[in-house]
Amino acid sequence: MANKGNKKRRQFSLEEKMKVVEAVDSGKRKGDVAKEFGITPSTLSTFLKDRAKFEEKVREASVGPQRKRMRNALYDDIDKAVFAWFREIHAKNILVTGSVIRKKALNLANMLGYDNFQASVGWLNRFRDRHGIALKAVCREDSDRLMNGLGIDKVNEWHAGEIIKLIADYSPDDIFNADETGVFFQLLPQHTLAAKGDHCRGGKKAKQRLTALFCCNASGTEKMRPLIVGRSANPRCLKNVHSLPCDYRANRWAWMTQDLFNEWLMQVDARMKRAERRILLLIDNCSAHNMLPRLERIQVGYLPSNCTAVLQPLNLGIIHTMKVLYRSHLLKQILLKCHSSEDQEKVDMRQAIDMIAAAWWSVKQSTVVRCWQKAGIIPMELTDSGPEAAASEPEIATEELWHSVAIATCVPNEINFQDFVTADDDLIISQDLMDTEVIQGTETGENTDEAGSEDEGEASSPQQPKITITEAISSVQKLRQFLSTCAGVPDAVFGQLNGIDEYLMRKVTQTLIDSKLTDFLQTK
């Protein structure tokens, strides 16, 4: 009896508990799972009952995967604030020591109103254990290298080692890169110099910007639907709009945030699960990317910090090509208005979204592949495209078009088309957490993604008139008549027009059938 009472109770880490739950989810019998992991049926039942708690902890990354107890800290709000700060710093590869964490904890505790809190060594050790943090000693040489950038040696090391391991189990079709860029969507050529180098941290220009997230695979065969982040949740120009060529979200800064990025990630993960695919997603370590949810079908690989300019495919020409196509479309609209009697109205957000999406879908496969090759992630022999394949890509505005617009809008001679394209390359696309925002998040749960009001920044954008389906069909017919008077119209254009016509006719037919059925039922 004494020996039975002295039997040591086994404790399971969060990672081990999740493996048990996943084994049951895979279809194995509960009895077989219990035997496999050496647990009793009652313990297995407890794990399954508490699975929601485990999943929430993993999703929030609030405890380390090796943690065996999920008891909250005595000063839970201080703990959460320090951990949020730590994740932000760690994502930037900034060296953090135990003493630095303790000093930051005291500072945040003071802001939270705790006078008796002591950031002792014991508190630090418990904090590390709770979140699975390992503080390693780093020599001065390594520290200087981390703080001053990784350099070409780090790039070569990554190419020779880590990236080979990451892509080993994936085909180019299943290797993706995602990145964000800022866009001054109302920027006119004559205002290029004023916008050049502007980070846009707020103020009036925040109303004139968007942030766009793009994602594509290494073979160039798949470009995902863009995510556009604006400032207003319900702008006038999107009233009565139920379909867009992209996903649209909003917050008060029109920046990418952790919540928005994680929402997008979860949607992609669900899509891959439905398609029974597993993909590798390469991303940088900006502040919006450093607290990821639990993902089933996406393996995330982080690009080395300070090296994205030479390692990130989207930064090596894909996003630039999209901006070239967007600005070219904008120039054509400006030129048309200059030669018409219409008032020179600014581009509204709806028009900008349509043009950004159109530009993204127009980026050619050869351009995408070439940029992945330039990043050194896929070898040249995996594709058939050579340097000459994209010689004429992208189909940018001609020099004559730029020259015509520049004269019409009084653009200074020192500004060229490339200046216009790259004017918003320095826009901030994600927000760094400040101490006050960390405190707000733990104290009141305030939503930092709160968007601007409906009318904010939209005074010049009229509400879009509602167009009936009959008017839409009539417009297609007029477009057919116009194209019939033009010479050399490509067959693909007529094919696209037929697709639009077919969709509208199918929609109006279904509407008529539904209305007839409703009338019939009402007479009964």
Q: How far, in Å, CA of 82 to CA of 117, rounded?
A: 13
pLDDT score at 138: 41
Q: How far, in Å, CA of 241 to CA of 457, rounded?
A: 19
Give the residue among 273, 324, 314, 268 at the shortest CA–CA distance from 292: 268
Contacts 24+ apart (CB under 8 A), 155-158: 155/304, 155/307, 155/310, 155/311, 158/304, 158/307, 158/311
Q: ∠ CA(416), CA(421), CA(425), 5° rounding?
A: 125
Give the residue among 121, 96, 199, 191 at the shortest CA–CA distance from 431: 199
Write out 354-402 in H/E/C secondary structure.
HHHHHHHHHCCHHHHHHHHHHCCCCCHHHCCCCHHHHCCCCCCCCHHHH
Q: Is 113 helix (H, G, I), strand (E, B) or coil?
A: coil
Q: How many helices (H) and strands (E) does the chain have?
A: 22, 6
pLDDT per residue as tens digits for the range 185-240? 888 887 776 555 555 554 445 568 899 999 999 999 999 999 999 998 888 888 88
Q: How far, in Å, CA of 246 to CA of 369, rounded?
A: 23
> Within the chain, which residue ranges are assigned CATH 1.10.10.60?
76-132
pLDDT per residue as tens digits for the range 402-445? 888 888 888 888 788 888 888 888 788 886 655 665 666 555 44
Q: CB-based burial of residue 337 (10 Å sphere; 0-12 exposed, 13-18 middle, 19+ buried)?
A: middle
Which CATH number does the domain 76-132 belong to among 3.50.50.60, 1.10.10.60, 3.40.640.10, 2.60.40.420?
1.10.10.60
Q: Is 413 helix (H, G, I), strand (E, B) or coil?
A: coil
User: Is residue 63 over pLDDT 50?
Assistant: no
Q: Is 276 helix (H, G, I), strand (E, B) or coil?
A: coil
> Within the chain, which residue ranges are assigned CATH 3.30.420?
154-379+394-422
Contacts 24+ apart (CB under 8 A), 299-307: 299/166, 301/162, 301/163, 301/166, 304/150, 304/154, 304/155, 304/158, 305/92, 305/93, 305/150, 306/93, 306/149, 306/150, 307/150, 307/154, 307/155, 307/158
Q: Answer yes or no: CATH 3.30.420 is held by domain 154-379+394-422.
A: yes
Strand order in the sheet with 298-302: 247-250, 227-230, 209-217, 175-184, 279-283, 298-302
**In this structure, what token pair is assigned to residue 56?**
């929430």
Residue 517: pLDDT band (50, 70, 90) is low
Give the residue among 185, 179, 135 at the shortest CA–CA distance from 285: 179
- Fold entry, domain 14-60: Arc Repressor Mutant, subunit A (1.10.10)
The interaxial angle of helices 41-49 and 30-37, nearest 10 deg, is 100
Mean pLDDT, residues 493-513? 80
**In this structure, what token pair is assigned to residue 355?**
């043009």
Q: Which of 109-113, 366-370, 433-437 has the lowest mean pLDDT?
A: 433-437
Mean pLDDT, residues 471-500? 85
- Bridge-partner residues for 299, per DSSP? 280
Q: How far, in Å, CA of 202 to CA of 80, rounded?
A: 27
Residue 466: pLDDT band (50, 70, 90) is confident
- What single-letter DSSP state applies at residue 232? B
Q: What is the pTM of this model?
A: 0.66
Integer-rounded Cα Rg, in Å, for the chain is 28
pLDDT score at 511: 74
Q: Which of 48-62, 181-195, 344-358 has the lowest mean pLDDT?
A: 48-62
Q: pLDDT: is 179 or 348 the higher one?
A: 179
User: Is residue 256 over pLDDT 70?
Assistant: yes
Cis check for the bond before 65: say yes or no (omega within 30 of 0): no
